[in-house]
Structure formats: structure tokens, C-alpha cells
Chains A and B, each alone.
Chain A
Amino acid sequence: MSQLASLKVLIADDHFLIRQFVRNTLKESKIENVETAGDGNEAIDLVQKAKSTDQPFDIVFLDWNMPTVSGLDVLTFFRAKPEYSDTAFVMLTAESEQQNLMKAIKAGATSYIVKPVSPAELSKKLYEINEWIKRKRQSSNGFFS
């Protein structure tokens, strides 16, 4: 079984095309536990609900431009809450300006994907993100616990 298969993922993007594209790529990496949100508010609700039922998302893909609440605002909202520190937030955007990249990093994005992205590139990112999650959880649990 793929080491990624146990990951729980949320894709928040107002474009169904991107939601489906990311979902297909995740499926190729054997990640089946995937939910989707069409705007920022829905993303916040789903992430909070999953946490409250003790089944948190491991990775949240956030489109930069979404209705109601932008991806950057969703990221900022959760990064202000320590209980989400080991959740990977990955920004999805067609913009590649350095200032946006810096904004995302400053706000605490785990990674940043510029569309269009190939399935191969996305899969590679998934492995990097999974390594980040493992490191985060290892450091928060302590090495010997």
C-alpha cells in the first residue's frame, strides 16, 4: 500500500475542473479519503468539523482566489490556531508572482503549487508534503515518545 494512502485530504477550489483534476491525481497515489469545498467558508467549516470529530485533514489544498473567503485568509485563520500546526496547507494558484509566494510562506503555507501542474509534479509534491507532516508530528510528539 502506498505510504500516502492513509492521508485525508481536502481540496478547496471554486473550479470543479481543478477539484476533479487534483482528486484524480490523488487517486493515482492511492489517496481515496478526499473531500472538496467550493469556497473559503465551506473549507473552514469542513476543516473545523473534521478536527472536532477527531478525524482531521492531513492536507488542505487551497485555491488562492475563492468566493467568500480567499485561500490566503483561510490559511491565516488556521495558522493562528496551534492545534492545526501539523496540518499541511498547500496553496494552489495560477499566479506566480514572488510577492504572492512570499505572502503565502509568511502566512505559513506548507507548499505552493502554480497551475498548470502535471500529475507527476503534484505526486512529487505529495511525497514532500507527507515528509513535512511526518517531521511535524515527530517533533510535536518528541522523538522518544
Chain B
Amino acid sequence: MSVMQKQISLDETLAKDIVNAVVSSMSHTFNVDVKPGNTEYGEGMVSLGGDISGIIGLVQDQLDGTLILCMPFETLREILPHVLGKTVEITHEMATDAVGELTNMIFGQVKRELNLRSHQIKLGVPCVVSGKGHFVCQFYRGRNMIVPFHLDGKMFQVYVGLNDSVAEGPRR
């Protein structure tokens, strides 16, 4: 017997899940205190700018989407020494590896919270993209939300984009 699947909404509850996942991942792993900013909601293509991004697909029966953690290298250079030691020179490879693992941890926790509320989502295999000042955007013109975070004046972002044309027909 199939269980009724709840649609995901881009709302304060999801933003709270993201904030909790990011804050606990950063605090537990790096012992740093990141502050969330105001969540922005939008529609259409949005570009995120950063140096290293962790991207993971999200799927439900009636909906699919993309989750992105987009970080500047400077932020990683700030937090990685908390684990690796102050004398270690942070390389691009180290930063890429860290974003991959953070992507897993953060969105793994978000998935857990969503599925506790019967959303039954599945995540794809995470992928990390790097390149100084690159832009990432979701291909479909669906709804999206961006949760910004601050750490000692440096910013990074978490993006959720949904393509619900599977359920509602193409929007474009």
C-alpha cells in the first residue's frame, strides 16, 4: 500500500530545517557559530556566485528539484583550520572535499527532517563544482528559496529550487 506523499513547500518550515542543518553541521564539525540571514523567495532563474558549490538533486513522485550549498573559498579558509590546525595551508582540494562532505551532512539532515513529515524525498549523488567566482543556476524556471549565512562578515548561501512542472505541467 502506498503512503500519501506530502508536497514540499518553500516556506519558513523548510528554511528552519536548512538553518538547523547548517548551524549544527558548522558548529559540530568546526566549532564555529554561523548566523542565518533573511530567506529570500523567488521564481525563475537565479544565479548563485561562489568558488565551490555542492549540488545534489532532490526527487519526489510529483516534484523534483536541486539543493545547492555555494561557498566562497575565503569562508572555507576561515573554518577549515578549526579542524585541520592553524598551521595547515588550506588548498583548493581540501576546500572541495570539505564542501562535498558538508553537502552530504547538511542535505542529509534536511532530508531526514522532511521525511519525518512524510515528504518521502530521495537525494541524488552529490557533486561538487569549483572555479573562482563561478555561477550556478537551476535550469528550470521553477520556484526557489535562498538562505544566506554569515560568518565573521563572510557569506555563503544555501539554495533550494523546485521544478513542479511534473505535477502542474510546464510553466514556461
A94 touches B108 (CB 8 A): yes
Separation in Å of the A3 CB from the closest CB of chain B? 24
A15 to B105 Cα, complex, angstroms: 12
A86 to B112 Cα, complex, angstroms: 32
- How many positions in chain A have a CB within 8 Å of any CB in the partner chain? 18
A115 touches B83 (CB 8 A): no
A92 to B73 Cα, complex, angstroms: 27
Known: A20-B83, A21-B83, A118-B28. A96 touches B101 (CB 8 A): no
* Partner of A116 from B28, B80, B84, B115 at Cβ < 8 Å: B28
Separation in Å of the A61 CB from the closest CB of chain B? 14
Residues of B within 8 A of A115 (CB): 101, 104-105, 108
- Main DSSP-derived SS at the B contact region: helix
A114 to B25 Cα, complex, angstroms: 11
A18 within 8 A of B: yes
Known: A15-B97, A16-B94. A95 touches B29 (CB 8 A): no
Which residues of B in the span 85-130 have a Cβ within 8 Å of any Cβ on A?
94, 97-98, 100-101, 104-105, 108-109, 112, 115
A117 within 8 A of B: yes
Residue of B nearest to A122 (CB): B28
- How many positions in chain B have a CB within 8 Å of any CB in the partner chain? 19
B101 touches A15 (CB 8 A): yes
A1 within 8 A of B: no
Residues of B within 8 A of A16 (CB): 84, 94, 97
Separation in Å of the A130 CB from the closest CB of chain B? 21
Residues of A within 8 A of B97 (CB): 15-17
* Partner of B29 from A21, A96, A97, A114 at Cβ < 8 Å: A21
A94 touches B100 (CB 8 A): no
A24 within 8 A of B: yes
Residues of B within 8 A of A96 (CB): 108, 112
A130 to B25 Cα, complex, angstroms: 26
The 10 A-B residue pairs with the shortest CB-CB distance in the complex, in nearest-first order: A94-B108, A94-B104, A116-B28, A118-B28, A15-B101, A116-B25, A17-B98, A116-B105, A96-B112, A115-B105
Q: A116-B29, A119-B28 are in contact. List 5 more A-B contacts (CB 8 A).
A: A15-B97, A24-B83, A114-B108, A115-B108, A116-B25
Residues of B within 8 A of A (CB): 24-25, 27-29, 80, 83-84, 94, 97-98, 100-101, 104-105, 108-109, 112, 115
Supply 15 A–B pairs (Cβ within 8 Å), ascending by A: A16-B84, A17-B80, A17-B97, A18-B101, A21-B83, A94-B108, A95-B108, A96-B108, A96-B112, A115-B101, A115-B108, A116-B25, A116-B105, A118-B28, A121-B28
